[in-house]
Structure 1
Amino acid sequence: MSSASDVHLILGGARSGKSRLAQQRAEQWLNSNSDGGLTYLATATAGDKEMSTRIARHREDRDHRWQTLEEPIALAEALLATPKSHCVLVDCLTLWLSNCLHQGAWECERDALLRCIDERCTDGSSNASPWIFVSNEVGSGIVPLGQLSREFVDAAGWLHQALAERADSVTLAIAGLPLTVK
């Protein structure tokens, strides 16, 4: 993983292994960049016991090298606040999307994220630490019946397309295996 912008998108379905793959890639980057660090930027909120359990399991999967930040809405702002020497793993964009939709902040926050990435891609920094985005691929199923569900699937699809266009690499995780898309 090396380029001027070093932006990576990892997509997959539920329990596809996308988060594990993203964590492995970040840790591999750190192994070859001893002066770097790792930041896990979590977008989930623990709204119930099951989600609390999921969050705890994800925390247990990360060792002492990881710094964890939690930001359910202002993702671009949080990315800009991370140390430039850190590989940042954002997990997950679809939870962030859901949070933003429920707060009525989707368009503003989406635009802020894309501007943030665009500025990173054009600033000429040849040794930017990677940003790895994890997201659920939700567009492979049937069109949902409810308006909010359709809005969510559409927004996720458009976001993934916009990120894939900007990303240096796109990987689809299937059954724990990476499939390189870009």
Structure 2
Amino acid sequence: MRTVLLSAMLCVMSMFARAQQVPNTIDEIDQAISNVADSVCANVRSDNLKFFVSEHPDRDWAASIIGRRMQKAGRVAHLVRIEDESDVVFSIEDISTRYTLREDSDSILRTIVVKISARNRSASPSGLMLPVPSLRSDQVISRDVAEATQTQQHSGSHGTVPPPPSSFWDDLAQPVIFIAAAATTVLLLFTVRSQ
């Protein structure tokens, strides 16, 4: 009997764990930026790359991921702070996490967007745009999972989770019923006590 109960609990727990496995925002963004860097490495045939990353609140984070991926691909990568000195220019158009309400008030839609363009300044013609992937990931998740999977570490890795929508019941009917029940209870107590 214990074995059956234990195996049933393990089965239920594994199903719950599988159902709630949602990747962290930081991991999804990291993977998307890595894919951009891998695509650039596949299209630019130089072993020594100087790259520039445009102004953005997450510029340093993106630059570190790009540099790491270029080095993993066997390239010598140098981040330069002046665009004119670079071979490849990465322009960050959007790195963000957004949450929107759904009809079901227990869940929200998480949208992660990573859009970075890359330009090869050392190619002929100069400024040739490189084909790079972009990410738009939409996932329906619970509010608790949204809070647990985002991080405040970078501006693009978190968003504002909207409060649950209020209804007539929450705003008006429920408080009126509670006040009426409390008043009735007090009235009954005084009535019983006076007799």
TM-score with structure 1 length normalisation? 0.27
TM-score with structure 2 length normalisation? 0.25
